Amino acid sequence: MIKVIAEIGFNHEGELKLAIEMIKAAAQAGANAVKFQTYRAKDLALPSAPHYQAIQSGEMSLEQHLELAKVAHDCGVEFLSTPFSPWAIDILEKVGVPAYKIASMDCTNKYLLGFIAETKKPIYLSTGMATLSEISGILYYLFEMKSGPVTLLHCLSLYPANAEDLNLAVIPYLKELFGVPVGYSDHHPNTKACLAAAMIGAEVIETHFTLDMSKEGADHYHSVDAEMLRKLIADIKLFQQMKGVKQGCLNRPDRKYAAQYRRGVFTAKSLKKGDTLRTEDLLLCRPTSRLKPEDVKWLEGSMIKQDIDAFHAIDRDVVENDASL
């Protein structure tokens, strides 16, 4: 089953009531998990940065994290968050998150990843901006650190990411190359890239989530709303039903109709004993018979050994032919 993570991020913009509403909406839409971002603005940017005030508004206290985690638990979804410092990891350990999501900016940050590895919890590692050698290096580092299991998330650190830049074929390639589960973290508007990623083999889908795509700031403009998320999850479930399993070719539900739908060999008109069969004397139509269309060449020129009514199946015992079937 593909895991769908609704990334609330800091689209709540520091409003606890809104964050709670978003958790409930994501859960009702069918998400398996909600994901926030745990940070202090000073851990991400200098005070002189133009976006410093904006990200500062999304800071949350331990108490707020605990409340949001309880809401998620009550709604039946996992509470996840992306930590941006050891302080954030400490907060999330107190909350008791079941796994950690690593942002692309920290994909190669061994300092931060070292602390996360020590928790032994599963890691969702976004690979935006990373080269294959960097991904290989960080996977080896986490292996050496005996971290929890790692799932790579193919990701484009572009906001929004254009269709021609997505290269979703990277998903099965990463799985083949590194032998770990691979998912997709989306920054493309609407749900099409997420569905395409699911179809190409992503085991986890993370997509930004908002209640109002028209809001200014944060990630609202390239997020999905509740109805879009609900439709995406329904489409993914439908796709998984369609995909089925490889063994499906061994137990086909349509096999029982083969005799009904395939062609047999029938007389096109009444034939008399002694007649010589011609192609125009035969019908190749449903249902099947003991003789098949490929037997027609053998039948041509054969002599009829007994009278046959029109539209009857021809069997080998009513014709005389020196050649064998």
pLDDT, block means (10 residues), the chain with 325 residues:
92 87 97 97 93 89 97 98 98 98 98 98 98 98 98 95 96 98 96 97 96 70 88 96 88 93 97 95 96 94 95 93 59
| Token pair recorded at residue 282 | 């035969």
Q: Which two tokens stand for residue 267?
A: 């007389």
Q: Identify the pLDDT of residue 325.
A: 45
Would you kindly state where each structural domain of the chain is located, as residue ranges? 3-244, 256-320
Q: Return the pLDDT at 249.
A: 87
- For tokens 């990701």, what's the residue? 155
pLDDT at 221: 66
CATH number of the domain located at residue range(s) 256-320 in this protein:
3.90.1210.10
**What pLDDT, on the 0 to 100 scale, is given for residue 220?**
67
Q: Give the whole-angstrom CA distance, residue 92 versus residue 55.
A: 19
Asked if the domains 3-244 and 256-320 are classified in one and the same CATH topology, the answer is no
Give me the CATH topology for the region 3-244. Answer: TIM Barrel (3.20.20)
Burial track 272-281 (b if 16+ CB lie within 10 A, e otherwise): eeebebeeeb
Query: In the numeric block, which tokens belong to residue 6?
Result: 């609704």
Identify the pLDDT of residue 217. Answer: 65
Closest CA to 224 of 42, 1, 4: 4
Burial environment of residue 33 by CB neighbours within 10 A (0 to 12, 13 to 18, 19 or more): buried
